[in-house]
Structure 1
């Protein structure tokens, strides 16, 4: 049984630096067909997101009339299959040629205008290209094309480290490490995936979420880093620490025993380095198979942590 009453403030929210490892490559899933559109997704060390064709949902007017085709939605205007987006955060590219800038160009290919969803062969192709005025003019984005696109993204929250059983670890007493629930997940609630859908079309939702699956802790005292599996404790007890037991009788294995105080360290604190492995998933509403993983990315952070000579627990 976990005693949740009368807990002292244990969250070490003063993370001094959130460091992105570079250069960073994008780990992304293949373009997926949601049933009425196609989406290209990405995940990297800064966040995750998706770019979907077919744009916002068509809302039927209550009749049995089929949704309009792409050609009908265009109203005689030309269909422009490409769109330029900013380079996603975390992507490192060489300096662009003089007079040009890097963009991520997404192109809808193999589409059919006489369908309401572009057809089953429609898919997205992505490329990082340097563009100047001439190249930009090849891929304009007039207002009437806005309904055919829907981009969305999510960044990872700053990590908030929790140390149990005391705010300041004690020498020769196990210190247990975890993260607050709010800082270990991003995006939609896995128990309610439709709540924060990034994209909705007439028959499907595309929702994305990320969670930390592993945390590597370098305790900063010269000992070897150790890995902790994340997301395996109950939601009502995310730190996995049983307050009815002393620190020497815990099931949680995400722990470290400091042999010396931090009195000889700069500012009397150890520098704890965290490597957080984010795994990103997508879910297609009204589809089968539930959540699907599209990739992982590492985020590095540092935390200053004081360690004192052994005293009474809770002191």
Structure 2
């Protein structure tokens, strides 16, 4: 089974490609207080991320110093300009200006380690020139008050069972690989222990974000209607969601399609399968905070060229 899956993924790497899609409206969670942080999060069709107002976390046994103590007499600059997140489309900026994402900390108190209970972040897309950029200067000492991060979705890796080349009148089953069904870091690597505690102040406060595929919509490309498949991460011990001990007509995976005609008369002898992958992004701030909290969904589209053969044998 695993050798067959390996061949499938090698073949898919040549035919699966992300399409340019219109991004979903950016979704923002309400202000999140996590340890010594106040954070605002977003999700769109490219990825997700957060902007936090307190910089990297304090993990020592004592409460962190107040913002006033950290400033040491220097002025507090409550705003900062960031690059526009990928996936956000804006009209052309006026001549001599460029778009920035301006994040402003509001309703804060300096005599608190996290800005106080009313502190929150406001975001705005602003076209600025050089003079207007100076409205939000960013001196080096203000670095300690900011902690942005972002993650993009991994490239989709579609598995088709029982064979990469479906047969006419035999069910073809569609799943995504575990690695392409969940995103936690943009480079695909696992979190280190230090990164897992990146929002720490005490064991009950820790901000983590994740994206998971919750639905796969498949347009099989043969003229039949698209169909939706609720989905998620497949178990490690069952990476393709297909029971090899049963025939294709007795599987529990509902994400399937039966091709009635071969693809011989299609361009390049293959059907064009269109996918819509629905990501749901959630956050977690501690084991006692009710688990994962969804903040929004976004769709990513992809396309695959799929040959379908006129043959009765399953093979592969």
Using structure 1 for the length normalisation, give the TM-score: 0.91
SS in 2 for 1:80: coil
How far apart are 1:235 and its partner, in Å?
3.6
Structure 2 matches for 1:265-284, cutoff 5 A? 265-284=266-285
Q: Quickly say closer, same or farther: Cα 1:23–1:167, change in 2 above 3 A.
A: closer
Paired position in structure 2 for 1:178: 175
Contact 1:54 1:149 in 2 (8 A): yes
SS in 1 for 2:217: strand
SS in 2 for 1:199: coil
Paired position in structure 2 for 1:122: 119
Paired position in structure 1 for 2:81: 84
Contact 2:37 2:199 in 1 (8 A): no
SS in 2 for 1:307: coil
Per-residue Cα deviation, 1:36-91 (whole angstroms, up to 9, x for no partner): 3210000000000000011111243x6x5x42211111111111000111111111
Which blocks of at least 5 consecutive residues in structure 2 are unaligned?
Answer: none
Paired position in structure 2 for 1:312: 313
SS in 2 for 1:144: helix
Structure 2 matches for 1:1-315, cutoff 5 A? 4=1, 7-8=4-5, 9-11=7-9, 12-22=12-22, 24-60=24-60, 66-187=63-184, 196-197=195-196, 199-203=198-202, 204-231=205-232, 233-315=234-316
Contact 1:20 1:46 in 2 (8 A): no
Higher helix share: 2
CA distance in 1, matches of 2:102, 2:194: 29
SS in 2 for 1:10: helix
Per-residue Cα deviation, 1:95-123 (whole angstroms, up to 9, x for no partner): 11110011110001111112121111111
Q: How many residues were matched structurally?
A: 308
Q: Quickly say closer, same or farther: Cα 1:248–1:23, change in 2 above 3 A.
A: closer
Alignment RMSD: 2.2
Contact 2:35 2:206 in 1 (8 A): no
Q: Quickly say closer, same or farther: Cα 1:5–1:47, change in 2 above 3 A.
A: closer
How far apart are 1:125 and its partner, in Å?
0.6
SS in 1 for 2:303: strand
Structure 1 residue ranges (4+ consecutive) displaced by more than 6 angstroms after TM superposition: 192-195
Using structure 2 for the length normalisation, give the TM-score: 0.91
Per-residue Cα deviation, 1:163-182 (whole angstroms, up to 9, x for no partner): 00012101111100011111
CA distance in 2, matches of 1:195, 1:226: 42
CA distance in 1, matches of 2:220, 2:104: 46
